A and B are shown apart, each in its own frame.
Chain A
Amino acid sequence: MGDELELKELLESIRFVYGYDFTEYAAASVKRRIDHFMITNKFNSLKTLGKTLLKEDGFFEQFIQEITVNVTEMFRDPPFYKSLRENIMGRLATYPFIKIWIAGASTGEEVYSLAIFLREKGLLERSVIYATDINQKALQTAREGIYPIRNMKAYTENYIKAGGQHSLSDYYVAKYDSVLLDRSLRQNIVFAAHNLAADRSFNEFQLISCRNVLIYFNQDLQNKVIDLFYESLCPLGILALGNKESLLFSDRKGKFEMLDRKEKIFIKTD
């Protein structure tokens, strides 16, 4: 549907008009999302999609929701959370005050997962978690902390596999077909919009987690974002990526050392 050049033009004009830059995203995934969007909204060419996007404000909001991949889970990849719990939390505990950045937090499941483990380790009270995303609607869901009850069975299994010490249901109340996560988890979380492709560093952190976000970027943007993380970490700060995101193919390899090869947890070296 539509060729490469047309797609490029569309992304360029979106960047120009709305300031959202998708030109450095991995093209295959963007293309797939746009094709999907065109089918559900009955557009038969990129041109007509482009016209509508540039004319109708509200429509663009809808498009943005669709073009980014927001799929997430609580305790996604349990072995990662297990490693975080067993190998990383001890390091965090040595700081009097712990600042954490979750970049690409989507609808927040990951943020609450981390908050739960921090609480179980007695660290939540002296932590602040900055949870950011480009997608405002996803952030709003994250703030509310309300999730479909049908997902909780899978999340509970993840939580147990990750080494959770209580019952996940201790952290939420169920109502109709939703659950509401424990409000007190949220006290030390700041939700905010931040665009990794455009915005700058805003603090210094002991831990940055950016999982399943970089896979959607091309190499150049990946490198830029890794630099941004490097700048935003304290000496010996920890960087956690998704389990298929290594710094292997990035040119910034020398700036980090592996802490956990399998779970893609790195430490800033100098």
Chain B
Amino acid sequence: MQYEAVVIGVSAGGLAALSGILKELPVDFALPVIIIQHRSREERTLLEEVMQAKCRIRIKQADEKERIERSVVYFAPADYHLLIEKDRSFSLSRDMPVNFSRPSVDVLFMAASEVYGDRLIAMILTGAGKDGAEGVRAVRQRGGLTVAQDPEDAFFPDMPRAAIETGCVQYILKPTELKNLLLNIGGK
């Protein structure tokens, strides 16, 4: 299977979990990685800066109408939902929060699943709440690959657990396995 993109949803406890994975990705990683990390509404670019300091792969905040490129890790900006257009560019929206969240994982995953169909990998990592569960369902219904961090290992198990409870998660993995999966698919 030729995958086209990776989407990741993560909330509380995410910084450590994410950096553990992202710092292993090579600069020429074969896919784009698009991440919803719940963040404070007023924060502007701190998350991207902190992450870039730890990683080799390019990290940036998703910009409105920006074309999605491989070998880049994108974070959704604070206080905007992140959507994907058919032409593989980003759209932003300040519509109502979903699951008390803006950006919301469900919103990104649903939009991504419509565009990428079965060429999408979706991952839910540590987090409180249940954002992402409906998104995982949508990804799976369109044939995408769905993965959750093992709740036993997650700082906050609720989010991966809610995703798993939909019955739509195919793989439940430890952090090193998550990393290896990505490297196998896009690491060359």
Q: Are A212 and B85 in contact (CB under 8 A)?
A: no
Q: Once the chains bind, are A4 and B91 in contact (CB under 8 Å)?
A: no
Knowing A31-B114, A248-B63, A249-B66 are in contact, say whether A69-B95 is a contact too (CB < 8 A). yes
Q: When the two chains form their complex, are residues A215 and B93 in contact, meaning their CB atoms are under 8 A apart?
A: yes
- Please tell me if the beta carbons of A215 and B92 are within 8 angstroms of each other in the complex: yes
State whether A28 touches B77 (Cβ < 8 A): no
Q: Are B64 and A28 in contact (CB under 8 A)?
A: no
Contact for B96 among A29, A71, A216, CB less than 8 A: A71
Please, which residue of chain B has its CB at the minimum distance from the CB of A28?
B83
Interface code B58-86, partner A: CB below 8 Å = 1, 0 otherwise?
A: 00000111100000000001001001111
Per a CB cutoff under 8 Å, which of B64, B83, B84, B92 touches A249? B64
Residues of A within 8 A of B18 (CB): none
Convert A1-41 into 0s and 1s, putting 1 for each residue whose CB lies closer than 8 angstroms to a CB of B.
00010000000000000000000001111011100000000
Return the contact of B64 from the options A31, A32, A215, A262 (Cβ within 8 A). Answer: A215
Interface residues of B in 39-66 (CB under 8 A from A): 42, 44, 63-66
Known A-B contacts A32-B107, A219-B65, A249-B65; the reply to A27 vs B85 at CB < 8 A is yes
Is A47 positioned at the interface, with any CB of B under 8 Å from its CB? no
In the bound complex, do residue B85 and residue A28 qualify as a contact, i.e. CB atoms below 8 Å apart?
yes
Given known pairs A4-B86, A244-B77, the reply for A28 and B65 (CB within 8 Å) is: no
Q: Which residues of B contact A244 (CB under 8 A)?
A: 63-64, 77, 80, 92
Chain A residues whose C-beta falls within 8 Å of the C-beta of B188 in the assembled complex? none
A257 within 8 Å of B (CB atoms):
no
A29 engages B91 (CB within 8 Å)? yes
Q: How far is the CB of B113 from chain A (nearest CB, A)?
A: 12
Q: Confirm or deny: A245 has a beta carbon within 8 angstroms of a beta carbon on chain B.
A: yes
- Assess the A245–B83 pair: CB atoms within 8 A: no
B17 beta carbon closer than 8 Å to chain A:
no
For B85, list chain A residues within 8 Å (CB): 26-28
A: interface residue count bin: 20 to 34
- Chain B interface size range: 20 to 34
CA A33 to CA B93, docked complex, whole Å: 11
Cβ B66 vs Cβ A28 within 8 A: no
Chain B residues with CB below 8 A from A249, complex form: 63-66
- The CA-CA distance from A245 to B64 in the complex, in Å, is 7
Contact of A32 among B42, B65, B92, B93 (CB under 8 A): B93
A219 nearest CB across to chain B (Å): 6
Complex formed: what's the CA distance from A4 to B87 in Å?
Answer: 12
Whether the Cβ atoms of A216 and B114 lie closer than 8 Å is no
Contacts of A29 in B (CB 8 A): 83, 91, 93, 95
Considering the complex, give the chain B residue whose CB is closest to the CB of A76. B94
Neighbour of A215 across the interface among B44, B91, B114, CB < 8 A: B91
Chain B residues in 8 Å Cβ range of A245: 64
Contacts of A246 in B (CB 8 A): 63-64
Report which A residues bind B (CB closer than 8 A). Answer: 4, 26-29, 31-33, 69, 71, 78, 212, 215-216, 219, 222, 242, 244-246, 248-249, 262
Question: 20 A-B pairs, CB-CB below 8 angstroms?
Answer: A4-B86, A27-B85, A27-B86, A28-B91, A28-B111, A28-B114, A29-B83, A29-B93, A31-B114, A32-B107, A69-B95, A71-B96, A212-B94, A215-B91, A215-B94, A244-B92, A245-B64, A246-B63, A249-B65, A249-B66
| Given A29-B93, A69-B93, A244-B77: 11 more A-B contacts, CB < 8 Å | A26-B91, A27-B85, A27-B86, A28-B91, A32-B83, A71-B94, A71-B95, A212-B94, A215-B64, A215-B91, A219-B65
